[in-house]
Structure 1
Amino acid sequence: MHNDARTADPAPVEETVAEDAVEPPRPRARRIPRRETLAGLASALVIVAAAGGIVAAGSIAPQPGGSRSIPAALAAVPAGASLGVCPGPARLLEGTEAGTDPQFSPESATANSAVTGAVLSAPGGVLPGSRLSALGGAVAVEIAKSGGRPGEGTGPQDLVAGVLAGHKVEAPTVLGADASAGLKPSAAGALKFTATDGDLQGSAAANCQAPANDLWLAGASTTVGRTSVLVLSNPSSTPATVSLELYGSAGQIQAPASRGLLVAPGTTRTIVLAGLAPGEKQLSVHVRSAGGPVAAAIQQSVLRGLTPGGVDFIAPGAAPAARQVMTGVDIQDAAGIAAITGKGGFDDAGPTLSLTVPGSADAVVEVKLFGRDGQKALPGGGVVTAKAGAVTEVTLAGVPAGHYTVSASSDVSFVAAARVTRGLTAERPADVAWAASGVRLGSQHVVPVPRGGERTLVFGVLENRATISYAPITADGKIRAAATADVAGGTTTSIKVPEKVDESEVVGYVVSASGDAAYGALLLQQEGREDVSTLAFMPAATGQEKVPVTLGY
Structure 2
Amino acid sequence: MSRSRAIRVAATSARLVTGGVVIVACVAGIAAAVHAPWPSISHDAAQMQVTPLPGDSVLVCNGDLRALGRDAIDPLSMSSAARPTVTLGGTSGDPASEGLAVKDVPDAGEVRVLTGTVEGRTAPLIAAAESVSIATEDLAGYAAAPCGVPKLDSWLVGGSTATGTEDIVILTNAAEVPSTVTLSVYGETRSARTVIVPARTQTAVPLTSIAAGNTTPVVRVGAVGAPVRAVLQSSLVQVLDPAGIDLQDAVAGPQENLVLAGVQVFASAGDDAEMAVLRVLSPGVDARVQVRVRAEGSSAVVDEFSVPVEADLPAQVALTGLAPGSYTVDVVSDAPVVAALREQDGFGRDSDFAWITPAPEIEGDVLFAVPSGPAPRVQLANTSDQDVTVTLETSDGGLPEEMVIAAGESLGVEVDPGATYRMRTDGSIRAALTLTAPGAIAVSPVQASAGVEKAITVYP
TM-score, normalization by structure 2: 0.82
Alignment of 1:381-420 (within 5 A): 381-420=304-343
Map of 1:301 onto structure 2: 235
Q: Is the 8 A contact 1:79 1:544 kept in 2?
A: no
For residues 86-124 of structure 1, give each alpha carbon's deviation from its aligned partner in whole angstroms, at most 9, with x where no partner exists: 10121210259999x9412453xxx45111111113xxx
Q: Do residues 534 (structure 1) and 434 (structure 2) align?
A: no
Give me the whole-angstrom Cα distance separating, in 2, the residues matched to 1:406 and 1:286.
23
Q: Is the 8 A contact 2:342 2:356 kept in 1?
A: yes
Q: Do residues 226 (structure 1) and 159 (structure 2) align?
A: no
Alignment of 1:144-543 (within 5 A): 170-248=109-187, 250=188, 253-255=190-192, 258-259=193-194, 261-333=195-267, 335-336=268-269, 338=271, 349-360=274-285, 362-374=286-298, 375-378=300-303, 381-423=304-346, 426-464=347-385, 465-473=387-395, 478-498=396-416, 507-515=419-427, 517-526=428-437, 529-540=438-449, 541-543=451-453
Give me the whole-angstrom Cα distance separating, in 2, the residues matched to 1:479 and 1:198.
43
Give me the whole-angstrom Cα distance separating, in 2, the residues matched to 1:449 and 1:433.
16
Q: Is the 8 A contact 1:182 1:544 kept in 2?
A: no
Q: Do residues 79 (structure 1) and 54 (structure 2) align?
A: yes
Q: Tell me, what secondary structure is at the counterpart of 1:275?
A: helix
Q: Tell me, what secondary structure is at the counterpart of 1:377?
A: strand
Map of 1:114 onto structure 2: 85
Q: CA deviation at 1:74?
A: 7.7
Map of 1:54 onto structure 2: none
Q: Rate the CA distance shift 1:508–1:106 in 2: closer, same or farther, 3 A.
A: closer
Q: Rate the CA distance shift 1:535–1:97 in 2: closer, same or farther, 3 A.
A: farther
Give me the whole-angstrom Cα distance separating, in 1, the residues matched to 2:316 and 2:392.
34
Amino acid of the residue matched to residue 217 of structure 2? L
For residues 54-96 of structure 1, give each alpha carbon's deviation from its aligned partner in whole angstroms, at most 9, with x where no partner exists: xxxxxxxxxxxxxxxx978887643111111110121210259
Q: Rate the CA distance shift 1:352–1:284 in 2: closer, same or farther, 3 A.
A: same
Q: Tell me, what secondary structure is at the counterpart of 1:319?
A: coil
Give the unaligned 5+ runs of structure 2.
1-44, 103-107
Q: Rate the CA distance shift 1:175–1:306 in 2: closer, same or farther, 3 A.
A: same
User: What is the percentage of aligned positions where both structures have the same residue?
Assistant: 25
Q: CA deviation at 1:386?
A: 1.3
Q: Rate the CA distance shift 1:96–1:543 in 2: closer, same or farther, 3 A.
A: same
Map of 1:38 onto structure 2: none
Amino acid of the residue matched to residue 353 of structure 1? L
Larger Rg: 1
For residues 170-208 of structure 1, give each alpha carbon's deviation from its aligned partner in whole angstroms, at most 9, with x where no partner exists: 332112111122123211111101113332211111111
Give me the whole-angstrom Cα distance separating, in 2, the residues matched to 1:274 and 1:118.
37
Amino acid of the residue matched to residue 174 of structure 1? V
Q: Rate the CA distance shift 1:116–1:98 in 2: closer, same or farther, 3 A.
A: farther
Aligned mate of 2:68, from 93, 99, 103:
93
For residues 448-471 of structure 1, give each alpha carbon's deviation from its aligned partner in whole angstroms, at most 9, with x where no partner exists: 012242111111122432222111
> How many residues matched?
409
Give me the whole-angstrom Cα distance separating, in 2, the residues matched to 1:353 and 1:471.
33
Give me the whole-angstrom Cα distance separating, in 2, the residues matched to 1:77 and 1:491.
35
RMSD: 2.7
Give me the whole-angstrom Cα distance separating, in 2, the residues matched to 1:173 and 1:267.
11
Q: CA deviation at 1:479?
A: 2.1
Give me the whole-angstrom Cα distance separating, in 2, the residues matched to 1:524 and 1:309.
17
Q: Is the 8 A contact 1:74 1:549 kept in 2?
A: no
Give me the whole-angstrom Cα distance separating, in 2, the residues matched to 1:511 and 1:388.
39
Give me the whole-angstrom Cα distance separating, in 1, the residues matched to 2:146 and 2:416.
21
Q: CA deviation at 1:535?
A: 1.1
Q: CA deviation at 1:441?
A: 2.1
Q: Is the 8 A contact 1:458 1:523 kept in 2?
A: yes
Amino acid of the residue matched to residue 228 of structure 1? D
Give me the whole-angstrom Cα distance separating, in 2, the residues matched to 1:130 and 1:403.
34
Q: CA deviation at 1:357?
A: 0.6
